[in-house]
């Protein structure tokens, strides 16, 4: 089974908006995922967050386009959202980042909370 990663929207935006050092780290991570023939998972929650930030469907398609052969859409269940809310509250991080542990159990996951940093997984 291929390894799977559920990336926080901020990582996609780091790459797309070319946010300095974070952009370099995002690219390094995504290249590592491709080289290892792993998968990047996304959900309707990811798309919803992009829309909330003002991105159109076309912009989201551009963001995902280069990685399309390594992308998989996944469904997030209500019980997973409830757990994400429970986890995110004490850590002060967005629940979207905390859903990643539900989709890739036992694997490291990038989130925007202070408990797991981007550079730990690269």
CATH fold of the domain at 4-115: Rossmann fold (3.40.50)
Task: Pick 46 or 86 by higher pLDDT.
Answer: 46
Q: What is the pTM of this model?
A: 0.66
- Residue 97 Cα distances to 19, 53, 86, 116, angstroms: 19, 15, 12, 10
DSSP 8-state secondary structure symbol assigned to residue 1: -
Q: Could you tell me the residue ranges of all domains in the chain?
A: 4-115
| Tens-place pLDDT, residues 94-105 | 545 544 433 343
- Provide the pLDDT confidence category of residue 91 given band limits of 50, 70 and 90: low
Burial call 17-29: b when 16+ CB within 10 Å, e when fewer: eeeeebbebbeeb
| Tens-place pLDDT, residues 59-86 | 999 989 888 899 999 998 888 888 877 8
Sign of CA dihedral 113, 115, 28, 46: negative
> Is residue 107 pLDDT above 50, yes or no?
no
Task: Pick 120 or 20 by higher pLDDT.
Answer: 20
């Amino acid at each position: 089974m291929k390894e799977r990663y559920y990336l926080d929207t901020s990582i996609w935006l780091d790459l797309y908006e070319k946010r300095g050092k974070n952009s370099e780290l995002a690219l390094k991570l995504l290249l590592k995922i491709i080289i290892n023939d792993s998968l990047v998972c996304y959900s309707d929650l990811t798309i919803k967050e992009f829309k909330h930030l003002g991105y159109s469907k076309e912009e989201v398609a551009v963001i995902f386009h280069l990685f399309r052969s390594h992308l998989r859409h996944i469904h997030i269940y209500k019980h997973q959202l409830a757990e994400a809310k429970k986890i995110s509250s004490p850590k002060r991080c967005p629940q979207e980042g905390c859903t990643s542990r539900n989709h890739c159990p036992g694997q490291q996951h990038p989130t925007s909370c202070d408990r797991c940093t981007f550079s730990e997984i690269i």
